[in-house]
Amino acid sequence: MSESPIFEGILSDARLKAEKVIEKAHKEAGDILKEAEDKAEKTREEERKNTKMRLDALSLKEESAVRSLERLRELKNNDAAYNAVQKEVDAYFDSYFLKDESRSTLIAWIAEAAYGLGYRQAKVAYSPKEKVDESMLRQAEKLLMDKTGFQVTLQLDDAPVSGWGVQLSSLDGKVYFNNQLDVRLRRMAKDIKKIIQENTCKAE
């Protein structure tokens, strides 16, 4: 028995509507899927960028840490070398200032300190271990006069100082010029460290 034309028309319309609904559903599903894929790709790209930034930051931190460690090692090496040089210098002068040849050095240091002090009269303090006497003061006065034209009268100070070298002061003791070995070495510390650093770099 064949379907009636009316029934077949209704069925045909239903099929068309169903196909359109299915087609629309497929399209919507495809749009949703594409949007989800786009969002997923965007998320992945952002994650890749964030990961790269984190890795770059870690790399910079690592490089900075390595540089800091190298600098710390360099400073420790330089400090160790400087301390070694300091010990050698101390040992040398401990022996040197007990010898008569140290007189010429002390005369020069007295003249230098007198010029630095700038007073016409000054007292010269020195270590009891050093062989400083009046004749050395006269030689220092003459050396200063010959070299600079500055005239000064020096006298020995009753109060001794510890350590090698001399310290000159005004007669009232209010102004002084320290020209002892440890002070002179501190003045030269920057130059000594520079020489050590240059030689350390060459050795490496």
Is the pLDDT confidence value at 184 over 80?
yes
- DSSP three-state, residue 5: helix
What local confidence, expressed as pLDDT, does residue 122 receive?
96
Q: At 65, is the pLDDT very low, low, confident or very high (cuts 50, 70, 90)? A: low
Mean pLDDT of 112-119: 95
- DSSP three-state, residue 119: coil
Using a cut of 0.75, tell me whether the model's pTM lies above it. no
Q: What is d(CA 166, CA 160) in angstroms, rounded to the nearest whole number?
A: 9
Alpha helices in the chain (DSSP H): 5-96, 102-117, 134-148, 181-203
Q: What is d(CA 191, CA 18) in angstroms, rounded to the nearest whole number?
A: 95
Per-residue pLDDT tens for 5-29? 776 777 777 778 777 877 877 887 7
Q: At 137, is the pLDDT very low, low, confident or very high (cuts 50, 70, 90)? A: very high
Q: What is d(CA 140, CA 201) in angstroms, rounded to the nearest whole number?
A: 41
